[in-house]
């Protein structure tokens, strides 16, 4: 629901109504085999949202929003039970506006996300607890906060750009063993994305050149005395497009131009760690009939 409180001020309120149900079976083998079934769920859980938008001028507006979090978790405790639902709140403050007579859009957002009952590996359990990995626990409270910056649009005739920067810091707010420490060290603190295209003019007006970079700071993951490090990286990409006629175009993309070797993920010590794609070339023909 949108309510115009005053000429420059608008209120937005809403909510999501959700249900969840988890059923798990426990089979015990041996001299006295048995089977037990346990149910866990939530009924008609309401997660509200509220926001305010203030029009500073026809080109600029400021906003604030609050949203609660509710998300069932299906990881398993060592006892066999499912974890409690993930709960918390997301608060955001920001400014959005236009530059160069509306050709360029900009945005600045400050955010804070608090989560309770977040799934965390239980390294005191067996590493073959479930799916050949550790069991989980749902204790403590974590926080993620930072800033997002974006700029996109047409800087000049034929020249378009998209750029974005994110700073994100995570930490345990309440935890028996890790209070104040980072809880998600494998998520980089800094991420920068820049992509630009330029359509040539004159006799070469059917040719568009493009290029950009995705970069991020280093990250790591620690379990006990073991630490795995992932260095910061910058992966460059390039593009060449030719407009054959109004209906057909051909695009050549060169991804990872400098053939950077890096890990794209660092999710665990057991599995799911993969290298990013090496240098690759894709030629695409697009058309409409």
The pTM of the full predicted model, rounded to 2 decimals, is: 0.80
Helix (H, G, I), strand (E, B) or coil at 161: strand
Given a cut of 80, whether residue 37 has pLDDT beyond it is: no
3-state secondary structure of 255: strand
Q: What is the mean pLDDT of residues 40-46?
A: 80
85 touches 73 (CB < 8 A): yes
Q: Can you tell me the mean pLDDT for 98-119? A: 94
223 strand-pairing partners: 226
Span 266-273, average pLDDT: 64
Tell how strand 219-223 and strand 226-230 pair up.
antiparallel
pLDDT at 18 over 90: no
Enumerate the β-bridge partners of residue 238. 211, 254
Query: From CA 73, how far away is CA 128, in angstroms rounded?
Result: 19
Look up residue 231 and give its two tokens.
């260095």
Average of pLDDT values for 257-265?
90
**For residue 109, what pLDDT is reported?**
98
Give 28 or 1, the one with higher predicted confidence. Answer: 1
Contacts of range 260-266, beta carbons closer than 8 Å, 24 or more positions apart: 260/233, 260/234, 260/235, 260/236, 262/230, 262/231, 262/233, 262/235, 263/230, 266/186, 266/219, 266/220, 266/221, 266/228, 266/230
d(CA 3, CA 120): 41
* Tens of pLDDT, residues 114-140: 999 888 777 777 766 766 678 888 877
Report CA 13 to chain centroid distance, whole Å: 24
For residue 132, the model assigns a pLDDT of 67
- pLDDT band, very low/low/confident/very high, at 160 (cuts 50, 70, 90): very high
The structure tokens 């992932």 sit at: 230
pLDDT band at 198 (very low <50, low <70, confident <90, very high): very high
Question: Is pLDDT above 80 for 111?
Answer: yes
The pLDDT tens digits of the residues spanning 52-101 come to: 999 999 999 999 999 999 988 877 787 777 788 889 999 999 999 999 99
pLDDT band of 20, cuts 50, 70, 90: confident
CA–CA separation, 132 and 183 (whole Å): 23
140: its two tokens: 């403590």
* pLDDT at 185 (0 to 100): 79
Check whether 278 has a pLDDT greater than 90. yes
Query: Tokens 């700029």 appear where?
Result: 151
């Amino acid at each position: 629901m949108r309510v115009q409180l005053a000429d420059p001020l608008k209120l937005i309120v809403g909510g999501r109504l959700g249900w969840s149900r988890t059923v798990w079976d426990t089979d015990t083998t041996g001299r006295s085999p048995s089977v037990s079934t346990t149910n866990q769920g939530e009924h008609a859980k309401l997660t509200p949202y509220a926001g305010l938008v203030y029009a500073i001028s026809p080109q600029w507006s400021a906003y604030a929003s609050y949203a609660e979090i509710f998300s069932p978790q299906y990881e398993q405790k060592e006892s066999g039970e499912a974890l409690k639902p993930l709960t918390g709140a997301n608060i955001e403050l920001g400014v959005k506006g236009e530059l160069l007579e509306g050709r360029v859009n900009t945005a600045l957002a400050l955010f804070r996300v608090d989560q309770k009952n977040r799934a965390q590996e239980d390294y005191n359990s067996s590493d073959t607890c479930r799916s050949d990995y550790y069991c989980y626990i749902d204790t403590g409270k974590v926080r993620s906060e930072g800033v997002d910056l974006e700029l996109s649009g047409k800087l000049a005739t034929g020249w378009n750009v998209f750029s974005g920067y994110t700073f994100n810091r995570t930490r345990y707010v309440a935890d028996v063993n890790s209070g104040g420490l980072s809880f998600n060290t494998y998520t980089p603190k800094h991420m920068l994305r820049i992509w630009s295209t330029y359509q040539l003019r004159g006799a070469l007006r059917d040719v568009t050149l493009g290029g950009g970079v995705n970069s991020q700071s280093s990250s790591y993951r620690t379990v006990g005395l073991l630490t795995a490090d992932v260095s910061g990286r910058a992966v460059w990409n390039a593009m060449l497009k030719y407009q054959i006629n109004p209906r057909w175009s051909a695009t050549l993309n060169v991804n990872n131009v400098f053939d950077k070797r890096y890990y794209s993920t660092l999710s665990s010590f057991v599995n799911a760690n993969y290298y990013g794609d090496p240098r690759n070339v894709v030629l695409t023909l697009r058309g409409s009939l």
